[in-house]
Homo-oligomer: A and B are copies of this chain.
Amino acid sequence: MKELKSSVHKTFAILEHFTNKKPEWGVTELAEEIGSNKSTVYRFLSDLDKLGIAYKHPVTEKYSLGLKLFELGCRVQLKSAFVDKTHPELIEVAKMISETVHIAILKNCQVFHVDKVESPQGLKLSTHVGSFAPAYSTSLGKVLLAFLPPKEQEKTLDVILKDTKPVAFTKHTITSGKTLKKELKEIKSKGYALDKEESELGLVCVGIPIFNQNNEVVASLSASGPATRFEEENVANYVAILKTGADAIQEKIGFFKP
């Protein structure tokens, strides 16, 4: 935190430590983690607590994220204009498909997970709402790339292939520009994408585009599961279910464009 120059940056560097994995921090504990003076950290947390952005548990005296932050999160336009409308459909799809399902948008040339519904029978994935993933190695991302207008696709692929070198997560990951472009053409013509163990061994995802009412692709919808459950014959069935979800979503989102 010493290298940060503004209080705004420091404030959010503090908040960044509160995750679903570690939702609570004591002052001294957090100060050590950050490498900052504990009275400085205390002052930030104390101010944040006064604002309801953080919450100090009366008994344990540990801090967690507060209700005001939840409320502010709900004010983000993506939430009201998109997630609130699409979430019920996502729940339906998860029920029908019995796998974990996601909706994502393309943001900074990456996949941004906008929503996720797990199925009791579905695989537990490491993704969470708000997490980013590489576009080139996920079905969510490849679909979004495939349906980009040509100029925009070129620019985005430039960023992905040149500015940020693609990492091979598994032996199946597509890292060559030539192969990826060929794959995107195929996805565009078939209307869906597969991630066949490209991002994680044993994991297969099938993703399709979500159109708005202007027939622009604005997001993608996917189902993820173990390779054993994603055989060729199942995929066509999954795509059909995803499509009913995407069609229902299209009806609801109007001209939304992220």
Residues of A in contact with B (beta carbons under 8 Å apart) = 6-9, 11-12, 15, 18-20, 23, 43-44, 47-48, 50-51, 53, 64-80, 87-88, 91, 107, 112, 128-131
Total copies of this chain within the assembly:
2
- Taking A11-B7, A88-B91, A91-B91 as contacts, is the C-beta distance between A76 and B80 under 8 angstroms? no
CB of A47 within 8 A of CB of B15, answer no
Residue in B43, B76, B129 whose CB lies within 8 Å of A69 = B76
Main DSSP-derived SS at the A contact region: helix
Q: Contacts of A130 on B, CB cut-off 8 Å? A: 67-68, 70-72, 74-75
Cα–Cα distance between A233 and B77 once the two chains are bound (Å): 40
CB distance from A252 to the nearest CB of B (A): 11
Q: Contacts of A75 on B, CB cut-off 8 Å? A: 18-20, 23, 65, 69, 130
CB distance from A104 to the nearest CB of B (A): 12
CB of B20 within 8 A of CB of A80, answer yes
